[in-house]
Structure 1
Amino acid sequence: MVQQQGRTGLTLEYPQHLADFENYADAQRAVDYLSDQKFPVQNIMIVGTDLKQVERVTGRLTWGKAAGYGAATGAWFGVLLGLIVGIFAEPGRWFAVVLAAMLFGLVFGVVWGLIGYAFTGGRRDFTSISQVVASRYELLVEHKHLAEGQRVLAGLTRPGTQQPAPQSPTAPPQSPTAPPGA
């Protein structure tokens, strides 16, 4: 069974494991090294595995902050609408239209920010940013380029050392989609 090329181009036919890395920068460095060695890097994928969501709490959310965040969001939205509507305003009134839309958006944003905060009922009284990160990164390569990729990648050294790049101690079992004799 052959994997078909997806619309996004994020698939390989018969992908095979080439190497593992603990961080994205090392995986990227390995692909850059392969590219420098004239390896056909269009046959490689960097796959983040063991995904986890990390949320960094940035502060306490209060009525004032909820109003402030709402005001800022509303003002930006008002400016955007004002710019669009201002195109059709009579000459000389463009600035007044944009300013009025910004002020209307600001007031509207404050009201909705406070309503939204009130509906939380104190269950989430903090602000945060979140990101999905991978615990490790795997290089996959088209099966027909696996041996050459292993040979070339063996010449890569880890940053700050003269040791070869990380390789899997044992190759994982071949994919059930691998062609016979690959």
Structure 2
Amino acid sequence: MSDNNFTHPKMDVERVNEIKKASFWVSQLFILVATVLGVYLAASQGYKQAVQFENMTSYKENYYLQKSLQYELQDNISLLKDLMTRLQDPNNYGARSESLNFYSLVWENMKFSKTTLGTPPEFLRIAQQFYRNIATTQQKIAKGDISTAYGIKQFQEQIDIVEQQLIPALEKSTDQIKKELDGSDVIL
């Protein structure tokens, strides 16, 4: 037998070691890629869930804010209609100078709510004009700058704007928000 048929044992060990080194680095590379990919996918999914949660929370807060504004406006319109009735009564002389104490909890607190800016601006504009125009008209009636009949006509115009434009728009908006939340786990 010749020595050529047999390989040198030291060379076999070196080849095996080289193969082990290469397979070690390849497996480490796969582990690294899998780890990076797993972290990326987990972070991406976590971010999506956080954004979705924030959106749903914002929708819910906006729903309650708009509904509360709607109810407050409806209550204030009732107060205004009561005042209009008293102003038309010829025996009620003090009605001209009566102060109209509107409910303003929601309207005043909207100044401090981050949700207010999620409310459509046209809603806020109409509500703001309503409160401002009613206060101005009431002051003019109390001072005698305008007649009671003209003041009542001004009041009715403001009521009509809110009842025919703002209240239906608020109802439509809150219905839309409610539909958006119906498919989620958020409970109104």
Q: TM-score, normalised by structure 1?
A: 0.25
Higher relative contact order (Cα pairs below 8 Å, separated by 6+ residues): 1
- TM-score (normalised: structure 2): 0.25
More strand by share: 1
Q: Specify the structure having the higher radius of gyration (Cα).
A: 2
